[in-house]
Amino acid sequence: MNKRSETRMTVIPILFVRDVPLAAGYFKDKLGFEVDFLHGEPPFYGSVSRGRACFHFRCVKRPNFVELAAREPSLILATVEVDDVHGLFREFEAHGADIRQQPTRQPWGGTDFHVRDPDGNVISFVTYD
């Protein structure tokens, strides 16, 4: 049997957005993320993080998921595992985040809620029960 060595891996989703500073501002003001960097003049790439969660933004003329997201009730582009999904939901709600799904106990064993950014990217925040 081939045993693989344990290697720490990190995945950083890259969200396609029309305006990198606007997207970073939304994540900062509504979701409590820190802006790590904005690159270019005007900025066409950037990064935000909160705890171990990190998202990168890439400026595109027209995000390719906008139309699909409008047709799909819950097209999730990333999931962030958290310790207290209900507490985080209350925080985001109090800051005016665009909540697309209230905390919902799922048959697959987690409780999640969904947030949508200004470009239609839906992020799920989940606690596994």
The domain containing residue 86 runs over which residues?
14-60+73-128
Give yes or no for a contact between 49 and 30, defined as CB atoms under 8 angstroms apart.
no
Phi, then psi, of 39 in degrees rounded to 5: -120, 135
Residue 7 confidence (pLDDT): 81
Structure tokens at 124: 């799920």
For residue 24, pLDDT over 90 is answered with: yes
Residue 1 scores a pLDDT above 60: no
> 116 to each of 7, 49, 66, how far by Cα in Å?
32, 17, 11
As a whole number of angstroms, the distance between CA 73 and CA 34 comes to 28
Q: In this predicted structure, what is the pLDDT of residue 65?
A: 64
* Per-residue pLDDT tens digits for 68-110: 666 766 678 899 999 999 999 999 999 999 999 999 999 999 9
Place of tokens 């925040």: 125
Whether residue 5 lies inside any domain: the answer is no
Task: Strands of the chain (E only): list them.
Answer: 14-17, 34-40, 43-50, 53-59, 76-81, 98-105, 110-116, 122-128
Within-domain flag for 8: no
CATH number at residue 33: 3.10.180.10
Q: What percent of the chain has pLDDT over 70?
A: 88
**3-14 average pLDDT score:** 81
